[in-house]
Amino acid sequence: MRTSTRGSRRMMTLAVVATLTTGLLAGCADDSGDSTPNNGGGNGGGGGGKTALTIGTFGVFGYKQAGLYDEYMKLHPDVSITENVTTKTDVYWPKTITRLQAGSGVDDIQAIEIGNVAEAVQTQADKFVDLGKEVDKSQWLDWKNAQATTKDGKQIGLGTDIGPMAICYRKDLFKEAGLETDRTKLAAEWKGDWSKFVDVGKNYMKKAPSGTKFVDSASSVYNAALGGASERYYDKDGNPIWDKSKGVKAAWNSAMEVATSDMSAKLKQFEKPWDQALANAKFATVACPAWMIGYIQEKSGEAGKGNWDVAAAPTAANWGGAFIGVPTAGKHQKEAIALAKWLTAPEQQAKVFAKQASFPSAPAAYATLKPQAATVEYFSNAPIAEIYAASAKTIPVQYFGVKDQPIGTAIADVGILQVEQKGKTPEQGWDAAKNEIKDVLGQ
Amino acid sequence: MKASPYAFITPFFLVFGAFGLVPLLYTGWYSLHSVQLSSLDKQTWVGLENYKNLWSSDFFWNALKNTFTIGLISTVPQLLLALGIAHLLNYKLRGSTLWRVVMLTPYATSVAAATLVFTLLYSWDGGMINWLLHFVGVDPINWRESDWGGQFAVSSIVIWRWTGYNALIYLAAMQAIPADLYESTALDGANRWQQFRHVTIPMLRPTILFTVVVSTIGATQLFGEPLLFGGSKGGSEHQYQTLGLYMYDQGWIIGNLGKASAIAWSMFLILLIVAAVNMLVNRRLRKSQ
């Protein structure tokens, strides 16, 4: 009798253990499938035979905001779309790149940021569908296509937005400082060279309204200037040339002029203090890629209305932008390609611009671009669309490299910051950045 | 009968094996290779190259030093404060439960939320701490970029979050001290301070050791606070880049997974050394008792 109780108790224990273990493992399996919640429904026919597409993005792409998903689902009643958004790019990309290589957990469409596109082209090309064969490439700006194309001509992504450059400035502060306030005259004053822009800054500081500076940070000048250089950190064969690059040197020099003078508010972009400074008019200019427009309008608020204006930047430059690609591991490639094509077509890009001010990479959209009336009014009726379109068409072809992003971070967050905020000399700053980049490149 | 205890603990070991041991060993394997995050399948054997690289890297030694100094300036005041607070809470207080719950609230807030608030408090221009300092005539400090300021700021977040937690652990231990010990010392004419020094502290010794060990492990792994305070470089001169942060920067930002794995294993070895030292000290203390 006794033994049999013991035996059954043991059985019981093992049963409990087994249940617990399988339960835990099942829990884990569930987790990994989280990113594609609709796959099950789509395959099993539970969703009424609909194809469930997922699209993985970062930040704010504006597709949902512009109602494009709803519109597409109305046009194609057999398709349902879910967007998986990861807010931060530096979280989104490592996650995406590991999933691409594992061949599981990827969305049917994955967004690729411009800073990562070279890495994707050089290391993940076989994980993406060649979209170049599916579309009329002439829809896009040439340099935009080139960035997503491998050496043997495979295009892994379609261009979404770009970041053509302008300068946003506070007319009221310029006037108080006794400077020119007309956007065309200002643009003419600094045309051709960012060091001329810095010279305007020196004039500004002579009679600067108290408590204000000319620019938000030295690194924003650096990024803007580098965005217009034909030579960046890598040559077109993918070799690092950051230490000899003319573009880097010129941008660095302009940034150093800013960092060693008192014209910088010494803020880090997109952080709370920077937001507050925007709201309180603490700096008079900011390098202004198209996507910055909405940001300024939001953060500078009602008080900034009509005080901001937009002028052409010293050089045509690009800062930011993205692509969308279709991973080969996706379950519904055909449908995903159709959706990607539709989302990046000129008409849809124009709709996103109207809602979100993300600037189209398809020139066909430029003629009909309509910024929101409130935005135009906010920026003193500046011809925003024309200024950005003019910049977009003259941006030079730029080559990006595998470690473009960490090299940029090393220069901005180590080199420039040390000079701007810690009082180091430009030579010390450059040496620090150099050590950092060598560490990045494993040299 | 004999099988059941083992059966009970197997789930832990199965799960630990799958999600702890295997990744641990695999990390060790990675650390002997050159692996990039973007091409995980292309692993080239480099032997101890990654470790040699770390040995000669200023960034690694700097991160190790930072981990140590931040650990020191966050753990020591934290535990002293916790001890004092626990002592005060041990008196008969009105609404004692309320005080204890309040003590635990910082521990219950997320690292991200706490750090976000502290970043604002410490902001250079218009932060509350610089505003308070200007009343005593101190110029605004650029907390995030100054050498000691950054470490101090990061430590203060850790102190704020963990003091209450440790205080409650001490409090629980204090309440287990028999009251007659206090009574007899009181009869001998000991005042409250003497009671604290000669009764409370010796009786708490095992608890103190426990909190020291736990805090040391926590300090070695410090990551979220400095990351959210000043990015993965931990300041422009790596002023508060801890080992954990250096590993993250190498592995996920730069994409150098082999080297990041070597950092992870170095951290593991350092923890083993710390544990060994702790054991020796412990044994020495027990002998001297």
* B236 → closest Cβ in A9, A28, A418: A418
3-state secondary structure of A109: strand
Q: Count each helix (H run) and each strand (E run) in chain B, helices first.
A: 14, 2
For residue A257, give the nearest of A195, A309, A174, A171 by alpha carbon: A195
> For B57, which residue in chain A has the nearest alpha carbon?
A439
Chain A contacts in chain B segment 135-154 (CB below 8 A): 142, 145
Q: Give yes or no for residue A42 having a pLDDT over 70.
A: no
- The model's confidence at residue A266, banded by pLDDT at 50, 70 and 90, is very high
**Domain-located, residue B6:** no
E-state strands within A314-434: 318-325, 359-360
Q: Does A211 touch chain B (CB under 8 A)?
A: no
Tokens of A404: 């473009």
Q: Does A13 touch chain B (CB under 8 A)?
A: yes
Residue A113 phi/psi, 5-degree rounding, is -80, 155
Q: Does A431 touch chain B (CB under 8 A)?
A: no
pLDDT of amino acid A270: 85
C-alpha B288, offset from chain centre: 28
**Do the beta carbons of residue B182 and residue B204 sit within 8 Å?**
no
Angle CA A208–A214–A218, to nearest 5: 145
Mean pLDDT for B66-74 is 95
Q: Give yes or no for residue A23 having a pLDDT over 80.
A: no
Give the whole-angstrom CA distance, residue B284 versus residue B289.
9
**Domain-located, residue B28:** no
**Domain-located, residue B34:** no
C-alpha B230, offset from chain centre: 18
How many CA atoms lie within 13 Å of A409's alpha carbon, on the beta-carbon side? Answer: 20
- The model's confidence at residue A10, banded by pLDDT at 50, 70 and 90, is low
> For A14, which residue in chain B has the nearest alpha carbon?
B7
The lowest-confidence range among A16-30, A116-130, A210-224, B180-194 is A16-30
Tokens of A84: 């998986």
Domain that holds residue B119: 57-288
**Domain-located, residue B274:** yes
- CATH architecture entry for A164-318+369-441: 3-Layer(aba) Sandwich (3.40)
- Comma-separated ranges of CATH 3.40.190.10 domains in chain A: 39-162+321-367, 164-318+369-441
**Do the beta carbons of residue A171 and residue A380 sit within 8 Å?**
yes
Q: Enumerate the residues of chain A whose CB falls inside 8 A of the CB of residue B36.
A: 123
CB atoms B11 and A418 under 8 Å: no
CB atoms A403 and B36 under 8 Å: no
3-state secondary structure of A235: coil
- Residues A251-260: pLDDT tens digits? 999 999 999 9
**Domain-located, residue B128:** yes
- Residues B227-245: pLDDT tens digits? 999 888 999 999 999 999 9
- Residues B176-228: pLDDT tens digits? 999 899 899 989 998 888 888 888 999 998 899 889 988 988 998 999 999 99
CB atoms B237 and A97 under 8 Å: no
Q: Are strands A308-312 and A166-170 parallel, antiparallel or unpaired?
A: antiparallel
For residue A272, give the nearest of B228, B21, B246 by alpha carbon: B228
CB atoms B252 and A276 under 8 Å: no
CB atoms B37 and A97 under 8 Å: yes
CB atoms A266 and B123 under 8 Å: no
How many CA atoms lie within 13 Å of A89's alpha carbon, on the beta-carbon side? Answer: 14
Q: Does B3 touch chain A (CB under 8 A)?
A: yes
**Domain-located, residue B41:** no
Residue A238 phi/psi, 5-degree rounding, is 85, 15
Tokens of A15: 């049963």
pLDDT of amino acid A236: 86
- Residues B11-49: pLDDT tens digits? 999 999 999 999 999 999 999 999 999 888 889 999 999
pLDDT of amino acid A37: 40
Give the whole-angstrom CA distance, residue B250 versus residue B234.
13
Determine which of B1, B38, B263 to mutate to test the interface with A (most A C-beta atoms within 10 Å).
B38
Give the whole-angstrom CA distance, residue B80 versus residue A249.
52
Tokens of B242: 């801890």
| Domains contained in chain B, number | 1
Give the whole-angstrom CA distance, residue B174 versus residue A415.
52
What's chain A's length in residues?
A: 443
Q: Does B9 touch chain A (CB under 8 A)?
A: no
- H helix or E strand, kind and range, residue B35: strand B33-36
- Helix ranges restricted to H, chain B: 3-16, 22-30, 49-55, 58-89, 96-108, 111-121, 128-135, 147-175, 179-187, 192-195, 201-220, 224-230, 243-248, 257-288
Give the whole-angstrom CA distance, residue B110 versus residue B118.
12
- CB pairs below 8 Å between A and B: how many? 93
Domain A39-162+321-367: CATH superfamily, name plus number = Periplasmic binding protein-like II (3.40.190.10)
Residue A426 phi/psi, 5-degree rounding, is -55, -35
In single-letter form, the type of residue at position A248 comes to V
* A413 → closest Cβ in B7, B231, B252: B231
pLDDT of amino acid A13: 52
**Do the beta carbons of residue A292 and residue A168 sit within 8 Å?**
yes
Tokens of B205: 């010794």
Tokens of A113: 């940021």
CB atoms B11 and A402 under 8 Å: no
**Do the beta carbons of residue B176 and residue B169 sit within 8 Å?**
no
CB atoms A98 and B40 under 8 Å: yes
**Do the beta carbons of residue B241 and residue B62 sit within 8 Å?**
yes
Cross-sheet strand order for the sheet of A213-215: A213-215, A283-287, A166-170, A308-312
pLDDT of amino acid A15: 54
A394 Cα to chain B: minimum distance (Å): 32
3-state secondary structure of A240: strand
Q: Give yes or no for residue A30 having a pLDDT over 50.
A: no
* A272 → closest Cβ in B4, B123, B255: B123
Q: How many CB atoms lie within 10 A of CB A24?
A: 16
Residue A52 phi/psi, 5-degree rounding, is -95, 110
Tokens of A277: 């400074």
CB atoms A414 and B236 under 8 Å: yes
- Residues B89-145: pLDDT tens digits? 888 888 888 988 998 999 999 999 999 899 989 988 778 999 999 999 988 899 988
Mean pLDDT for A89-99 is 91
CATH number for the domain that contains residue B169: 1.10.3720.10
Q: Enumerate the residues of chain B whose CB falls inside 8 A of the CB of residue A20.
A: 11
User: What average pLDDT is seen over chain A?
Assistant: 88
**Domain-located, residue B51:** no
pLDDT of amino acid A152: 92
Q: Are strands B33-36 and B39-45 parallel, antiparallel or unpaired?
A: antiparallel
Q: Give yes or no for residue A24 having a pLDDT over 60.
A: no
Q: Does B183 touch chain A (CB under 8 A)?
A: no
Q: Which residue has the tokens 């028999």?
A: B178
- The model's confidence at residue A34, banded by pLDDT at 50, 70 and 90, is very low
Mean pLDDT for B278-282 is 84
CB atoms A421 and B7 under 8 Å: no
**Domain-located, residue B133:** yes
Q: Enumerate the residues of chain A whose CB falls inside 8 A of the CB of residue B142.
A: 421
CB atoms B14 and A403 under 8 Å: no
Could you report the predicted ipTM of this complex, rounded to two decimals?
0.82
CB atoms A98 and B236 under 8 Å: no
CB atoms A439 and B57 under 8 Å: yes
